[in-house]
Amino acid sequence: MARVIIRTLFALVCIGLGYTFFPAIRGSGESAVFANAGLAGAIYGLAVALLIIALELLFAKKFIQSVPVIMISLIFGFIVAKLFVDAMFLVPAIKTAAEQDLVLNSALNLIVVFVFTYLSVIVIFRTKDEWKFIIPYVEFRRTQRGAKPLILDTSCLIDGRIADILATGAVDNQVVIPAFVMREAQAVADSKDRLKRRRGRRGLDILNKIRQNPDIEVILHEAHYGSVSRVDEKLIRMARDLDGKIVTTDFNLIKVAAVQGIPVINLNDLAEALKPVIIPGEEMSLQLIRPGEESGQAVGYLDDGTMVVVDDAHDFIGKTAEITITSIHQSSAGKMFFGRIKGRERNDGRKRK
């Protein structure tokens, strides 16, 4: 309600300024002309007020990179409107009528300017991505210098590993957390399902952990994209607008973004790439925690969760043993290592190789 009152007062002030100062600008000694000039000034003032209010409503929630598009569109629209008005006044009947009636003259100018500036803004906004092909090196979007910003989605926050990755300092990209992602995480945290509620709260905890790290540049982006309903589509729109990368574990989002040419960082792929490279013959210390499927086997796990099966190690269960990797088994579920106790001989008296 307060905004409506402020906008109404602003429009009244513009009308009053136009009514007061436009006659003085036009200049005339006849009172009738002054009255018409005052009315024309009031119309101009109202038009300016409505234009400013419309721009405020239209672009209040848009990105700052929309400003150059608006300015170029308005300049182009004014130029075209000026040329159209000059051409229209070449018609004797229109020129005579406009010279005799100041209100008609002002109304014609106002309507033409409004129509052409509106059309210019709409057309350039709808075709802004194509202008770089019409005019070389011209592109109506922010040019990203340096590392591209990382845009986090809800699954990335719930997963939690991104906080540890950022805390290492190995990634110095700007981190963008969209407002609609925060709202989605909040909605999951408020779910009636206990598991979903725990996952949502974990996502919010990870978000706070990232924000509290002074070494991480975090931006909470307030873009709404009201015309788009699905969060995945909003993320893709934001990545395109900011020239950024989406960080996620959502398989469907990864596929859709790849189709549209949006760069994506899959946390699962990143974790797989960061696993240590282990080759047969390598020695390590490993805690054996349970028996294996075969007789005499013991099972332990690496720090990343990879299973290691050790032969003839039943007596080491519950202990930390020095082992030697003998082979690697790769399956669709991941890698699994096989090994033996370091220095332990076979039953036939020979050492394992």
Predicted confidence at residue 126, as pLDDT, reads: 63
Are 98 and 8 contained in the same domain? Answer: yes
Q: For residue 92, what pLDDT is reported?
A: 82
* Structure tokens given for 42: 């009031």
Q: Give the contacts of 86 (CB within 8 A, at least 6 positions apart).
A: none
Q: Give the pLDDT of residue 33.
A: 42
Is 141 part of any domain? no
Domain stop point among 105, 134, 163? 134
Residue with tokens 């202990």: 319
Q: How many domains does the chain have?
A: 3
Same domain, 14 and 121: yes
CATH number at residue 301: 2.40.50.140
Are 261 and 291 part of one and the same domain? no
pTM attached to this predicted model:
0.51
Residue 74 and residue 56: Cα distance in Å, rounded?
15
Domain boundary (134, 161, 185) is at 134
DSSP string over 103-122: HHHHHHHHHHHHHHHHHHHH
Domain assignment of residue 39, yes or no = yes
What pLDDT, on the 0 to 100 scale, is given for residue 309? 93
Residue 350 in any domain: the answer is no
* Co-location of 7 and 122 in the same domain: yes
In a domain, 96, yes or no: yes
100 and 158 inside one domain: no
pLDDT of residue 150: 92
Same-domain check for residues 101 and 161: no
**Which pairs count as long-range contacts for 188-194, CB under 8 Å and 24+ apart, including other chains?**
188/154, 188/158
Report the run of H or E that residue 304 belongs to, with start and end: none
What confidence score (pLDDT) does residue 39 get? Answer: 75
Residues 99 and 179 in one domain: no
Concatenate the DSSP letters of all residues of 24-75 into one string. Answer: HHH--S-HHHHHHHHHHHHHHHHHHHHHHHHHHHHHTTS-TTHHHHHHHHHH
Same domain, yes or no, for 104 and 204?
Answer: no
> Of 108, 134, 160, which residue is a domain's last?
134
164 with 112, same domain: the answer is no
**Under a CB-based contact definition with an 8 Å cutoff, are residues 97 and 104 in contact?**
yes
**Residue 347 lies inside a defined structural domain of this protein:** no
DSSP state letter for 315: G
Residue-by-residue DSSP string for 214-251 = TTS-EEEE----TT--SHHHHHHHHHHHHT-EEEE--H
Residue 48 lies in a domain: yes
Residue 331 included in any domain: yes
Q: Is 351 inside any structural domain? A: no
160 in the same domain as 120 = no
CATH of the domain at 176: 3.40.50.1010
Range of the domain at 260: 150-273
pLDDT in tens, the chain (353 residues): 566 787 788 788 878 777 776 665 555 444 444 446 667 777 877 887 787 777 666 655 454 455 666 777 778 878 888 888 888 878 887 778 777 777 667 777 777 777 777 777 777 766 654 454 344 444 445 444 457 889 999 999 998 889 888 888 888 888 999 989 999 999 999 988 888 899 999 999 999 999 888 888 888 888 777 777 888 999 998 898 888 999 999 989 999 999 999 999 998 888 877 777 788 888 899 999 999 888 889 999 987 778 899 998 888 999 999 999 999 887 656 688 999 998 775 544 444 44
Domain identity same for 17 and 99: yes
Rounded Cα–Cα distance for residues 166 and 189 (Å): 23
Q: Tell me, yes or no, whether 311 and 261 share the same domain.
A: no
